[in-house]
């Protein structure tokens, strides 16, 4: 009898306690934990997609760097004093292109561990914020490299009559083809980078 009384008292107490807490603690806890669950999954998805995009961007920038850095063409005819040769390092813009793309590739490789941290801990804002800040700087660098090279490639293809600059692609066809390919690869990397920053912005926004 004593035993049963103590149990009823216990039941009443716990009932009262849950009643008192229900509107204050239990209900919000339940919803917030559910929200965290779904948001966690959505943020993890973003982090995995971010990781895959980074791998694609590495491929694009590496290909662009190598394509530009190995570009060289010597024409099969030459005069007594001069051999017609075109190399990427005759153009300051193309040198900048190679250096900038090498930097971007290096950054991307270094950013992979941080991207993995974001997959493991989707709610950590520290690595995410670090990535978005460097990503935006790299967007600017990669775009600068790609578009300045594109301006020179356009000039090489079409020339400019006002400035009396001749198109050189009639002679250096292989050179122009390889350089154009590198520029395209670099622009692909820029587009991927823009997506990366947008994804990071979505992942950063508060729950």
Q: Distance between CA atoms of 149 and 135, rounded to whole angstroms? A: 21
Q: At what angle do helices 27-69 and 173-204 cross, to 10 degrees?
A: 170
For residue 183, state whether it binds a copy of itself (rule: CB under 8 A).
no
Among residues 12, 17, 22, 55, which is the contact residue for a copy of itself, using CB under 8 A? Answer: 17
For residue 137, state whether it binds a copy of itself (rule: CB under 8 A).
yes
Structural Rg of the chain based on CA atoms = 29
For residue 150, state whether it binds a copy of itself (rule: CB under 8 A).
yes
Largest CA distance in the chain: 120
Contact status, residue 122 vs residue 40, Cβ threshold 8 Å? yes
Token pair 């066809």: residue: 173
Least distance to a copy of itself, CB of residue 1, Å: 25
Considering the complex, state which of residue 1 and residue 151 has its C-beta at the smaller distance from a copy of itself: 151
Contact residues toward a copy of itself (CB under 8 A) are: 17, 20-21, 24-25, 85-87, 90-93, 125, 128-129, 132-133, 136-137, 139-140, 143-152, 154-156, 158, 160-166, 168, 190, 194, 197-198, 200-202, 204-207
């Amino acid at each position: 009898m004593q035993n049963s009384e103590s149990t009823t008292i216990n039941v009443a107490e716990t009932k009262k306690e849950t009643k008192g807490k229900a509107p204050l603690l239990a209900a919000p806890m339940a919803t917030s934990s559910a929200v965290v669950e779904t948001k966690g999954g959505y943020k993890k998805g973003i982090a995995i997609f971010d990781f895959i995009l980074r791998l694609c961007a590495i491929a694009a920038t590496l290909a662009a760097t190598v394509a530009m850095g190995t570009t060289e063409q010597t024409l099969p005819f030459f005069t007594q004093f001069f051999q017609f040769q075109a190399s990427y390092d005759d153009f300051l813009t193309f040198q900048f292109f190679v250096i900038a793309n090498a930097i971007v590739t290096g950054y991307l490789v270094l950013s992979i561990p941080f991207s993995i941290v974001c997959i493991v801990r989707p709610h950590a804002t520290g690595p995410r914020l670090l990535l978005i800040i460097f990503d935006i700087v790299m967007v600017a660098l990669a775009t600068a490299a790609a578009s300045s090279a594109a301006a020179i490639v356009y000039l090489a293809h079409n020339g400019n009559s006002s400035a009396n600059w001749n198109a050189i692609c009639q002679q250096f066809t292989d050179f122009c083809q390889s350089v154009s390919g590198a520029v395209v690869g670099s622009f692909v990397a820029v587009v991927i980078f823009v997506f990366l920053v947008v994804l990071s912005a979505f992942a950063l926004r508060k729950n």
